[in-house]
Amino acid sequence: MRQRKAKGLDKRLAYCSEYLVKDLGRTDSPMKKSEGICEGIGDTYVEIGSGKGQFIIKRALNNPSGNYIGIEGQETVILRAAEKAMAVSGKAPWPENVAGREQLIGLTPVNPQASLEPRQEAVFLQKTSLNNLKFACCYVESMKDFFGENQLSGVYLNFSDPWPKKRHAKRRLTHHIRLMDYVRAIRDGGFIEFKTDNDPLFEFSVEEFRLCESNLQIVELTRNLHGADCTYDSACFTTEYEDKFSGRGKNINYIKATVIKQK
């Protein structure tokens, strides 16, 4: 859903500039485009349609040696994400209308069986510098515009817009043409993860993943991520939409596939 332009948008964006990449995709060489985005030297993970940022912030906190990039098309939404990152890292007061810091960094899965190991959680709670995270404001059409081949270790798609009309199927972020576009940017052994509350979109997406079976091996799949018998740790890394829908009792669908590159 399109958000109204936030009050004082430009000034507020400038204040959060340390969490924003302005020029993602604006240089000529795709191989160089994502270099130097984050300070970490480890693997790079991208969320497309990162919304207000809760998920990617949690991921970045939990894995300090990885680089995380949230890409989101709407500036007002990116602003919320960047302000959240500023607050989590203690560089700004907590913004109004955003869940409390403890709630955000406290990893509160609906299903306690899916919670992290105590050691992992301790690291998560201590880590607040967040120098391994950036947000970029743009709509992704093709990953080729931003990333070279095999540059990423994982792509996250969370609660992507459903585009319910059949004639708009190609616009869905899980259409097989798009999946293969992500595969190109992901290294052998990397992954694509997708979560949604939208059951028809999920069934469509599972078929699309299956269409790519020579490059994508499904390794985790559930139609109830927060159900009592589900132990996937993805349940710990909730998004804003996920909290909202699962809080209302809606089942959350989830699929993860590993990338296999042909030798």
2 vs 167, beta carbon nearer ligand SAM: 2
77 vs 257, beta carbon nearer ligand SAM: 77
Among residues 23, 28, 43, 161, which one is catalytic? Answer: 161
Minimum CB–partner distance for residue 62 and ligand SAM (Å): 17
Minimum CB–partner distance for residue 159 and ligand SAM (Å): 3
* Region near ligand SAM per CB under 6 A, out of 66-74, 95-103, 104-112, 247-255: 66-74
Residues found in the chain: 263
CA–CA gap between residue 77 and residue 55 (Å, rounded): 14
Please give the single-letter amino acid code of residue 59: R
Minimum CB–partner distance for residue 52 and ligand SAM (Å): 6
Cβ atoms 217, 260 nearer than 8 A? yes
Which DSSP string corresponds to 114-139?
A: GPPPHHHHHHHHH----TTEEEEE--
Residues 44-63 that bind ligand SAM (CB under 6 A): 48-51
Residues 94-153 that bind ligand SAM (CB under 6 A): 139-140
In the set 232, 241, 245, 254, which binds ligand SAM (CB under 6 A)? 241
Cβ atoms 49, 160 nearer than 8 A? yes
Residue 250 backbone dihedrals phi, psi, to 5 degrees: -75, 135
Minimum CB–partner distance for residue 260 and ligand SAM (Å): 25
Cβ atoms 215, 260 nearer than 8 A? yes
Beta bridge partners of 140: none
Residue 226 CB neighbours (<10 A): 22
Minimum CB–partner distance for residue 192 and ligand SAM (Å): 14
**Residue ranges in the chain assigned as alpha helix (H):** 9-15, 30-33, 54-62, 75-88, 101-105, 118-126, 176-185, 199-211, 240-247
Is 240 among the residues that bind ligand SAM (CB under 6 A)? yes
* Sign of the C-alpha dihedral computed for residues 27, 29, 32 and 38 taken in this order: positive
Minimum CB–partner distance for residue 214 and ligand SAM (Å): 25
**Residues binding ligand SAM: number (CB under 6 A):** 19
Is 208 among the residues that bind ligand SAM (CB under 6 A)? no
* DSSP 8-state class, residue 144: G
Please give the single-letter amino acid code of residue 196: T
Place of tokens 């052994």: 189
161 catalytic residue (yes or no): yes
Residues 155-194 that bind ligand SAM (CB under 6 A): 158-161
* Region near ligand SAM per CB under 6 A, out of 58-66, 94-102, 125-133, 237-245: 237-245
In the set 73, 95, 148, 227, which binds ligand SAM (CB under 6 A)? 73
122 vs 255, beta carbon nearer ligand SAM: 255
> Which residues are near ligand SAM by CB under 6 A?
48-51, 71-74, 77, 139-140, 158-161, 239-242
Active-site amino acid positions: 161
